[in-house]
Structure 1
Amino acid sequence: MFSIYILTYNEELDIAACIESAQLSDDIIVVDSCSTDRTTEIASRYPVRVVRHPFETHGKQRTWMLRSIQAKHEWVYILEADERMTPELFQECLEATNSDRNIGYYAAERVMFMNRWIRRSTQYPRYQLRLFRKDRVWFDDYGHTEREVCDGPTGFLKETYPHYTCSKGLSRWIEKHNRYSSDEAAETLHQLREGSVNWKHLFWGSSEVERRRALKDLSLRLPLRPLVRFLYMYFILGGILDGKAGFAWCTLQAFYEYLILLKVDELKQQSPPPSPVQLSVESRPENA
């Protein structure tokens, strides 16, 4: 068996369905970043533990959670409120925890948008570290999100998890990504000044995760990036085959990239430019 952590902040619309999908586990822990809505009230109706902790950054919140909240089991799974556990994924996770081959496993998301799976333009499969041994993983900050640090080998699960990225409505998506773009802009500016493209990982990376990270570092340096992203997602990846929802998704992603570029230009005019960590502290968490 494995424990399940659920990260929340103002998730009253999603938390019930998320907990109900996770009840295959006998140990569910809701880690709330001091929500101002009814998230914790709703969560408390279920046989789960609810722990509140002020949000600093995504990486720090996850690391604090792993180090400070005792879980019943050695293996844990991180679930965000707009994601769901499925019986098939749960069973595969159980089988993975019985093996000593890896200390963690990546799972691919199925982005659900406008009532359909956006498979092509979301670069499926996009992997996130979800299942791992609690004592062998911690998290650092990266842009508006986080990156895992693993003390040991990792593998990949075959089953996927649904991610209802726009379950709160389009206006909430825009509000959330406006906030995210500030963190992304700070990280982008830092990467442009201090980082570089890992060409070895880009072409010969040992995993999909390594190749995708190198591709992102390259994309930061492309001219007309928002337009390039739209054309790449819509025509090369096949977003055009995802119908109306695919067109809307690709347009929103291009808009997000343009917003980041505008904020990068804004940061360049500031002296000194704020660090990614400073902007992350100012932001409130919202699960994408």
Structure 2
Amino acid sequence: MLSIYILTHNEEIDIAACIESALLSDDVVVVDSLSTDRTIEIAEQYRANQFPVRVVQHRFESHGRQRTWMLENIPPKHEWVYILEADERMTPALFRECLQAIESGDCVGYYVAERVMFMGQWIRRSTQYPRYQLRLLKHGRVWFSDYGHTEREECEGKTGFLKETYPHYTCSKGLSRWIEKHNRYSTDEALETLHQLQSGTVNWRNLFFGATEVDRRRALKDLSLRIPFRPFVRFIYMYFFLGGWLDGRAGFTWCVLQAFYEYLILLKAWELQQFPTESPALHKEHGATHSY
């Protein structure tokens, strides 16, 4: 068996469905970043009705720190844990494969590919499927650090890949919420962009000969930061080369939103360079925090 952590902040729309999918496990832990909506109330109802659900709150600092705090301070019932976001779902097929992977004992962590669900359908092509995230891990052997607006894993041992996927309802709260959220994310990405351009390099070996999709994708991202007209190039790449046009209206909308996101990152990176003492990103770098 394995424990399932669910990370939340103001997830009243998604939390019930997420918990329902996670109840394949006998240990579900909701780790909330001080929500101000009904997230905690809904989660507590499951605990009150004798479902195996625990609810813990902790002030959000960053994605990497939240995950590491969770792993260090909330003991799971089982040696293996799976990390879910509230807008994602566990599936019976994925759960069974997780149990099989645990029994093999070969790795300390496993990557799982997401299926991005947007405007009522799976956006397979323009999302660069399969895009893997490390979700199943052995407690005490995997930690997380910050990278841009998200996190990167640090594994003390071998990792592997699962065949089953998980659905990610990336816009379940509406386009306005998506835009507001990615406006915040773009601040972190701008900081990471400047850092990478100033001190980082492109790993050309991983770009062409990386052992895994994760290695190749990370090298490609480092390269993309150096490409002129990046928002436009990203739209052309996603819509035409990856085949986003085959995903219909939803694919076109997704590609436009991703190009818009890239433009926000560039604008905030420019703001950092031109007005460093006034930039919101600089204030965040010096200790201000935000939530999901």
Letter aligned with residue 71 of structure 1: P
Match of 2:76 in 1: 71
For the Cα contact (< 8 Å) 1:143–1:276, is it kept in 2? no
CA distance in 2, matches of 1:167, 1:271: 35
Equivalent residue runs for 1:9-158 within 5 Å = 9-46=9-46, 47=51, 48-158=53-163
Count of paired positions: 286
For the Cα contact (< 8 Å) 1:56–1:281, is it kept in 2? no
Equivalent residue runs for 1:247-286 within 5 Å = 247-271=252-276, 278-279=284-285, 282-286=288-292
Match of 1:218 in 2: 223
The unaligned stretches of length 5 or more in structure 2 are none
TM-score (norm 2): 0.95
For the Cα contact (< 8 Å) 1:226–1:257, is it kept in 2? yes
CA distance in 2, matches of 1:31, 1:134: 16
Query: Secondary structure at the residue paired with 1:95?
Result: helix
Given candidates 190, 214, 217, the residue that maps to 2:195 is: 190
Q: Deviation per CA, 1:62-121, whole angstroms, max 9, x where unpaired?
A: 000001101000000000000000000000001001111111100000000000000000
CA distance in 2, matches of 1:89, 1:259: 35
TM-score (norm 1): 0.96
CA distance in 1, matches of 2:142, 2:154: 6
CA distance in 1, matches of 2:30, 2:155: 23
Q: Give the Å deviation of 1:262.
A: 0.6
Match of 2:164 in 1: 159
Q: Give the Å deviation of 1:284.
A: 2.5
Identity over aligned pairs, percent? 73
Q: Give the Å deviation of 1:134.
A: 1.0
For the Cα contact (< 8 Å) 2:145–2:151, is it kept in 1? yes
CA distance in 2, matches of 1:219, 1:280: 27
CA distance in 2, matches of 1:282, 1:187: 16
The unaligned stretches of length 5 or more in structure 1 are none
Match of 1:5 in 2: 5
Compute the RMSD of aligned alpha carbons: 1.5
CA distance in 2, matches of 1:31, 1:167: 20
Given candidates 224, 234, 255, the residue that maps to 1:229 is: 234
Q: Deviation per CA, 1:157-207, whole angstroms, max 9, x where unpaired?
A: 000000000000000000000010001001101110111101111111111
